[in-house]
Amino acid sequence: MNPFINLGIRHDIVNAITELGFENPTPIQEQSIPVLLTGSNDFVGLAQTGTGKTAAFGLPLLELLDFEENFPQALVLCPTRELCLQITNDIKNYSKKMSNVHVVAVYGGASISDQLRQIKRGVQIVVATPGRMLDIINRNAIDFSRVKYVVLDEADEMLNMGFQEDIDNILSTTPDEKKTWLFSATMPAEVRRIAKKYMTDPYELTMGTKNTGNANIEHEYYVVRARDKYAAFKRIVDFNPDIFGIVFCRTKIETQDIAEALIKDGYNADSLHGDLSQQQRDKVMKRYRERSLQLLIATDVAARGIDVNDVTHVINYSLPDEIENYTHRSGRTARAGKTGVSISIINAKELGKIRQIERVIGKKFAKVDIPTGFDVCEKQLFSIVHKIHNVQVNEQQIEQYLPRIMEEFKDMSKEDFIKRFASIEFNIFLDYYKNAPDLNAPVEEGRRFERDGDRSSYPRSGGKSEYTRLFINLGSVDEFNRGDLLGYICNQSKISGRSVGKIDVKGVYSFFEVPHADVDKVTAGFNGAEFKGRPVRIEIAGEGVSERRDGGYQRREGGYRGDRTGGERRDGFRNNRGGAERDGSGGGFRDFSGKRREEHGERRRRF
Ligand code: AMP
């Protein structure tokens, strides 16, 4: 018997989900379904995407609503169009053996009249992004006065995207007695605040420790010199011939540039960012889902809600501005119980940020060396061997050519033949990686960049040179302004207000400057401090978030411009693309044509 029955899910739903391959509940389903089925709790679930949370709330909704009635009884709010469609589709799948279940997806960028028509026909479950939902409410086109359940999915993302006010307005049209179920991958102060605002005594469920990423994700970092970043990135990709990855960049321009450079270098890559039209984005996503693309280069915003299974690697080409975003990025891999790797390519100055992320996700990163040229060649060779071994032979098509092929090879031993066959691609790599330099940058962790290291060399934000800039995890959302924060710092650390330099109050964190000589006193003063039950964290600001934001981001630091070659390669790649796409496996090196070899010849010249 399917264990979902024991959780209290009825047969027709269990039959439908069994067909979807749900044989056992995921941990979040196991723990939340019995609670949510009571229908009497507000609920906060701290869980990543990919953990099965859609069914965790979707199945209880299907149990609790009255489908003989055709008015909105449940509202699911989520941050993106992609997620909205995904949830709608999932709920429709779970309920495909039930009758009269009407679910409507309400999202921007699509015809509103279709959505209005569906609502008018009668729906019980509305899955919506906040902007379009509010638009429909403002047209008086929906009545939420009998809504019993509101789900806030990926609440942290919705707040990141500035939907707080829209959510307030939408929820004000729902009855006070409704139950609210909130799901979030991370629990920053803003989410804590909305949980408090909309819920009474919610049942809280944390999968893993707070803010912890999925346990199936391995976190790795590589340290390179800025100028070697692109070359190192390519080497990592070449070292993973079966990679199916999402590469995160910080800006649209960087995203576009990296994608273009990769395409020119013969990889199956494309970019996803906010400057693309919805149609263009859909097209890129379709190709990625179908695995015609092997690498999707994306900004944080554009990649929100991407739900593609089997992503093997997330690559942080640039670390995210906000640490919370690291969790979102890495959560794109290791979905549905699979494993995955989240790679960060950093320069030595960013080590402090890796340590900060480690603290937030509660997991250690492994420092990995950039593979040598030889390592890559070896890895590719065995990948080729594996592919040759497992290739599907089209007996019918090849048969007619076999006599001629046999004739060609008649004077060759099996060993010779295999050697030659495998060498076709292997030689390309040997050529390309001949004399490849070591791309690992020296790291002097603990001396320059660790918190308790040599502070005087720590990068600073500008301002008075005798000051050290400190980070504190409190900000305007905790209702601090500069004056309040100054008072709080002085009170806590027993230093004079006059000695505090510039104070920058941000949303969930702030920065302030204190004389170098006072740093220890301030850190000691905050040791063990709590603010409204939450530990207060003080750190020396590295070249993190706001430094880049304030100081402006310098693109092309990876130096890939120099790696590029002209249009010739692009043409070559295009000519080969059809085959590559059909193949749908392996790296940018799978083509055996002469044209391709030319490309690799160019590669070689770049070293
Ligand atoms: P979600 O976190 O809801 O986006 O789910 C991630 C993926 O896991 C989706 O592809 C689901 O179809 C799949 N999934 C969810 N629950 C189960 C389950 N109990 N067994 C197998 N797959 C599941």
Q: Indicate if 47 and 195 belong to the same structural domain.
A: yes
Higher pLDDT pick, 553 / 31 = 31
> 97: pLDDT confidence band, cut at 50, 70 and 90?
very high
Q: Indicate if 39 and 180 belong to the same structural domain.
A: yes
Take atom 14 of ligand 1 and give the residue whose Cα is closest.
52
Q: Indicate if 258 and 195 belong to the same structural domain.
A: no
Tens of pLDDT along 260-312?
999 888 889 999 887 888 888 888 998 999 999 999 999 988 887 677 888 99
Cα 364 to averaged position of ligand 1 atoms, centre (Å):
27
Average pLDDT of span 376-400? 87
Largest Cα separation within the chain, whole Å, is: 91
**Domain tally for the chain?**
4
Cα 447 to averaged position of ligand 1 atoms, centre (Å):
45
Is 42 a member of any domain?
A: yes
424: Cβ contacts below 8 Å, ≥ 6 apart: 592
Predicted confidence (pLDDT) at residue 127 exceeds the cutoff of 70: yes
Cβ atoms within 10 Å, residue 389: 7
Take atom 18 of ligand 1 and give the residue whose Cα is closest.
22
Predicted confidence (pLDDT) at residue 562 exceeds the cutoff of 70: no
What is the distance between the alpha carbons of residues 30 and 55, in angstroms, rounded to a whole number? 10
Q: Indicate if 275 and 316 belong to the same structural domain.
A: yes
Take atom 22 of ligand 1 and give the residue whose Cα is closest.
22
Please report the atom of ligand 1 found closest to the CA of residue 56.
3
Is 474 a member of any domain?
A: yes
Pocket-testing residue among 4, 22, 308, 338, ligand 1, by greatest number of atoms within 8 A of Cβ: 22
Take atom 15 of ligand 1 and give the residue whose Cα is closest.
52
Take atom 21 of ligand 1 and give the residue whose Cα is closest.
22
Pocket-testing residue among 2, 13, 20, ligand 1, by greatest number of atoms within 8 A of Cβ: 20
What is the distance between the alpha carbons of residues 524 and 511, in angstroms, rounded to a whole number? 17
Q: What is the pLDDT of residue 176?
A: 93
| 350: phi then psi, degrees, rounded to nearest 5 | -95, 5
Cα 309 to averaged position of ligand 1 atoms, centre (Å):
9
Q: Which domain holds residue 230?
A: 217-370
Q: Indicate if 221 and 200 belong to the same structural domain.
A: no
Please report the atom of ligand 1 found closest to the CA of residue 47.
2
Site residues for ligand 1, CB cut-off 6 Å: 21-22, 24-26, 29, 49-55, 307, 309, 335-336
Instruction: Check which CATH number belongs to the domain holding 272 and give it.
Output: 3.40.50.300
Predicted confidence (pLDDT) at residue 571 exceeds the cutoff of 80: no
Q: Indicate if 308 and 410 belong to the same structural domain.
A: no
Tens of pLDDT along 500-532?
888 887 777 788 888 888 999 999 999 989 888
Tens of pLDDT along 41-87?
899 998 877 788 999 999 999 999 999 999 999 999 999 888 999 99
Pocket-testing residue among 76, 328, 335, 338, ligand 1, by greatest number of atoms within 8 A of Cβ: 335
Is 201 a member of any domain?
A: yes
Please identify which residue in the block is written with the tokens 């097209």. 283
Is 457 a member of any domain?
A: no
Is 339 a member of any domain?
A: yes
Tens of pLDDT along 309-337?
889 999 999 999 887 789 888 888 887 66
Q: Indicate if 384 and 326 belong to the same structural domain.
A: no
Q: Indicate if 188 and 223 belong to the same structural domain.
A: no
Cα 86 to averaged position of ligand 1 atoms, centre (Å):
11
Cα 371 to averaged position of ligand 1 atoms, centre (Å):
34
Q: What is the pLDDT of residue 293?
A: 92
Q: Which of 292-306, 342-356, 406-420 has the highest mean pLDDT?
A: 342-356
Average pLDDT of span 393-413? 90
Cα 52 to averaged position of ligand 1 atoms, centre (Å):
4
Cα 16 to averaged position of ligand 1 atoms, centre (Å):
13
Tens of pLDDT along 438-478?
888 877 554 333 332 222 222 333 333 578 888 888 887 78
Higher pLDDT pick, 507 / 201 = 201
Q: Domain boundary at 370, 386, 402, which?
A: 370
**CA 53 centroid distance within chain:** 16
Please report the atom of ligand 1 found closest to the CA of residue 90.
12
Q: Indicate if 101 and 193 belong to the same structural domain.
A: yes
Q: What is the pLDDT of residue 444?
A: 58
Q: What is the pLDDT of residue 415?
A: 87
Predicted confidence (pLDDT) at residue 598 exceeds the cutoff of 50: no
Average pLDDT of span 388-401? 89
Single out the residue of 494, 502, 497 nearest to residue 521, CA to CA: 494
Write the DSSP assignment of 427-469 as a string of letters. HHHHHHHTTPPP-BPP--TTTTSSTTS-GGGS---SS-TTEEE
Q: Indicate if 64 and 162 belong to the same structural domain.
A: yes
Task: Among 197-201, 403-407, 470-474, 579-583, name the one with the lowest average pLDDT.
Answer: 579-583
Task: Among 108-112, 125-129, 280-284, 589-593, name the one with the lowest average pLDDT.
Answer: 589-593
Query: What distances in angstroms separate CA 326 from CA 185, 255, 259, one per listed residue?
Result: 11, 17, 21
Please report the atom of ligand 1 found closest to the CA of residue 48.
2
What is the distance between the alpha carbons of residues 98 and 491, in angstroms, rounded to a whole number? 62
Take atom 4 of ligand 1 and give the residue whose Cα is closest.
50
Q: What is the pLDDT of residue 590?
A: 31
Q: Say how many residues make up the chain.
A: 607
Is 494 a member of any domain?
A: yes
Cα 39 to averaged position of ligand 1 atoms, centre (Å):
22
Tokens of 385: 């061997």
Please report the atom of ligand 1 found closest to the CA of residue 337.
8
Q: Domain boundary at 349, 370, 391, which?
A: 370
Single out the residue of 183, 196, 102 nearest to residue 150, CA to CA: 183
Single out the residue of 471, 442, 415 nearest to residue 348, CA to CA: 442
Average pLDDT of span 541-549? 40
**Averaged pLDDT score across all residues of the chain:** 80
Higher pLDDT pick, 211 / 216 = 216
Q: Indicate if 33 and 162 belong to the same structural domain.
A: yes
Q: What is the pLDDT of residue 17?
A: 96
Cα 499 to averaged position of ligand 1 atoms, centre (Å):
54
Q: What is the pLDDT of residue 553?
A: 22
Predicted confidence (pLDDT) at residue 244 exceeds the cutoff of 70: yes
Please identify which residue in the block is written with the tokens 């050697």. 419
Q: Domain boundary at 388, 416, 432, which?
A: 432
Q: Indicate if 242 and 334 belong to the same structural domain.
A: yes
Cα 336 to averaged position of ligand 1 atoms, centre (Å):
5
Cα 237 to averaged position of ligand 1 atoms, centre (Å):
28
Is 487 a member of any domain?
A: yes
Is 599 a member of any domain?
A: no
Task: Among 151-155, 159-163, 243-247, 598-602, name the one with the lowest average pLDDT.
Answer: 598-602
Predicted confidence (pLDDT) at residue 178 exceeds the cutoff of 90: yes
Q: What is the pLDDT of residue 90?
A: 96
Instruction: Check which CATH number belongs to the domain holding 501 and give it.
Output: 3.30.70.330
Pocket-testing residue among 4, 26, 304, 333, ligand 1, by greatest number of atoms within 8 A of Cβ: 26
Please report the atom of ligand 1 found closest to the CA of residue 51.
2
Cα 355 to averaged position of ligand 1 atoms, centre (Å):
31
Cα 522 to averaged position of ligand 1 atoms, centre (Å):
46
Higher pLDDT pick, 150 / 50 = 150
